[in-house]
Structure 1
């Protein structure tokens, strides 16, 4: 009798677990596609591209000036118009400018990363809010990104609902 009760209890637990698992709804979105269609994303990418070109232009100008000054110093050394002490001073100046160029390049990368984060954060936030709203409206427990999904039924794709929520 005790064994029959245990078997019945296990059966009830298995049935309850199966019912709970089948009641959960899972969906997925193609976030890359959604982001690529957003006008805000295109504007942010254009803004970043403009900033990058501007910074690269400044960096190239610095490098060109450095190269010209280096060649001028080389020529003066070959002609013998500089004393050894002057050569050392000019070389030290060039080394300092070379360091400035390296610092500028590092700062350029940081500035671009900061600007990217500043521009993209509100976009990502709005997309995440739209995904959360669709999940709540449709009763989804989880929404995954299609890029990490190994298998998904077409009916579980809520990308079009998220696009509609974003006005696309």
Structure 2
């Protein structure tokens, strides 16, 4: 029985030593701060703003032309310059243009989303690659984003290492 107790005690000590030796290392980064400091991110945001303004300007011009033509049609109809059939034809044309404006707005949103993904995907990839490289170099098994972290010691913050890896 004494021998069994000694073996059991040794097994517990070996298990505890193994668990301690293979302790996992955790870190975290502030990805929002890193992204905000990247020149590529600033350029992408500027590019997106320019595209958005350009598309909005085109959409506003379409709406203004529509409103002008709508008012002109109302004035002609009130003045009795149009027959009921001509009024109906003009109203149908305006409805078609209104649908075109709505389709343009939907396409504008889709184009902006596509351009955003196109511009930001390589930036996100470079940040993720830098995080993975830091994790491998420093022996981290897990790196979390600070935005979803409830608690973290400052010594586990690897944001500065990632910034260095990115050349910031």
Provide the TM-score with structure 1 as the length reference.
0.92
How far has the Cα of 1:17 moved from its partner? 7.0
Deviations 1:100-145 (A, max 9, x none): 0000000000000000000000000000000000000000000000
Which segments of 5 or more consecutive residues in structure 2 lack a partner in the other structure?
A: none
Secondary structure (helix, strand or coil) at the match of 2:28 reads strand
* Aligned residue in 1 for 2:60: 60
* Aligned residue in 2 for 1:102: 102
Correspondence list, 1:19-168, <5 A: 19=20, 23-168=23-168
Distance 1:164 1:24 in 2: 24
Distance 1:31 1:105 in 2: 32
How far has the Cα of 1:9 moved from its partner? 8.5
Distance 1:112 1:86 in 2: 39
Q: How many residues align?
A: 167
Q: 1:109 to 1:17 in 2, by over 3 A?
A: farther
Q: 1:69 to 1:10 in 2, by over 3 A?
A: farther
List 4+ stretches of structure 1 deviating above 4 A. 3-10
How far has the Cα of 1:15 moved from its partner? 2.1
Distance 1:163 1:80 in 2: 71
